[in-house]
Amino acid sequence: MTRAFLVVMDSVGAGGAPDANQFFNGNVPDTGANTLGHIAEACVAGSAEEGRSGPLRMPNLDALGLGAAVRLASGASMPGFDAEPSGLWGAATEVSKGKDTPSGHWELAGVPVPWDWHYFPDEVPAFPQELMDEVARLAGAEGTLGNCHASGVPIIEEHCAEHMRTGWPICYTSADSVFQIAAHEETFGLDRLLKLCEDIAPTLHAMKVGRVIARPFVGECGNFRRTANRHDYAIAPPAPTLCNWVQGAGRKVHAIGKIGDIFSRRGIDDVRKGTDSDLFEHLVSLADTAEPGSLTFANFVEFDTLFGHRRDVSGYARALEWFDGQLRRFFERLQPGDLAIFTADHGNDPTWTGTDHTRERVPVVGYGLGVRAIGQVGFVDVAASVAAHLGVPSEGPGRSFL
């Protein structure tokens, strides 16, 4: 039996979402956002020279059809990406009313979100007092810090000293449907932070808040760093996903990165975590060892967390080039008949205003089945296609493009 590898390059959008005007960064609609296209343009213009230089170089994904996928998605060219596609290529459009991690991943796995997410207002305070009281009670603390929209690093910088002195957790949100809690791994305790997030998660999920995210950090104030021990406590998908379909057919499902968190470990046999560098080694290892008929579902998050939200064009370009440069090792280990699909869950254009995700179509490029132009497809069609490749029943609304 053949195997499937579904790899989500978190936030690597391709522009062109038909409803981008309904999604905003501040007061600016996402119309015209194009993560890949604008990064490539910045590189050609010499505006992404920190730690790298020159045009954006992603020869492996471009050879499969990445540049063609961006042109199809947005109508805009991706400078320097003009290879004739040698793999499966197309672009996918999302229907769920969110530009967030659960919406994108669930829909890629065959389940569009059937409800409206709850978003906290961009004001101070952002959270109701009864929620803050409950967080403090569960934490065994006399209060909380933050209570606003913020980016992770600046809010830790702002409240680090008081957090270290009082032990009060730092609570914040973003334009996504999330509730985030930052705390020091040593002075507050990693296990304590994880238990706090786990305990408060049902309250947030009942409000239709998509995720409670533990954001641990270490070091001293002014010289701290967030660690790879982040954990997402996501609301459970409303219906069986691709992971359940595959597992229900008696096959194995291997999760890499935060996939286990996103799907509340439902339909997943094992989870492998770490930095993106660690995750790629897990991907290579599973290319060697994954069972016949299995699904490996991976998320590489650092494009989004380290560079997209921080609007770091050079860093995002470096990450893209690093990822592409590793792919040959992965391809060499795939077996005849295996299918590897590379896609994304939303955009996060680092040239855009604001700090939040951008509503975009996403590229869909594949290795293993030869040249295949799939055109414009839906996110749910990715799940249906992976199921068709593995020979398991598809239970969602998607249609296979294979």
> How many residues in total does the chain contain?
402
Cβ count within 10 A of residue 369? 16
Q: How do strand 253-256 and strand 231-234 relate by DSSP bridges? A: unpaired
In angstroms, the Cα distances linking 265 to 137, 236, 255, 258, 273 are 27, 9, 9, 10, 13
| Residue 227 and residue 203 in contact, taking contact as beta carbons nearer than 8 Å | no
3-state secondary structure of 366: strand
38 labelled ligand-binding: no
Residues 6+ apart with CB under 8 A from 105: 8, 259, 262, 263, 299, 345
213 phi and psi angles, rounded to 5 deg: -120, 125
Give kind and range of the element (H or E) at residue 322: helix 313-333
Residues paired with 297 in a beta bridge:
6, 255
- DSSP string for 164-194: HHH-PPEEEE-SSSEEEEEEEIIIIIHHHHH
Q: Give the type of residue at 82.
A: D
100 phi and psi angles, rounded to 5 deg: -125, 175
163 labelled ligand-binding: no
10 labelled ligand-binding: yes
346 labelled ligand-binding: yes
Q: How far is CA 261 from the centre of its chain?
A: 11
Strand intervals (E) in 312-383: 339-343, 362-367, 372-378
345 labelled ligand-binding: yes
| Residue 90 and residue 69 in contact, taking contact as beta carbons nearer than 8 Å | yes
| Residue 224 and residue 217 in contact, taking contact as beta carbons nearer than 8 Å | yes
Would you state the structure tokens that stand for residue 134, as one six-digit string?
Answer: 């409950």
Known binding-site residue numbers for Mn(2+) = 10, 304, 309, 345-346, 357
Known binding-site residue numbers = 10, 304, 309, 345-346, 357
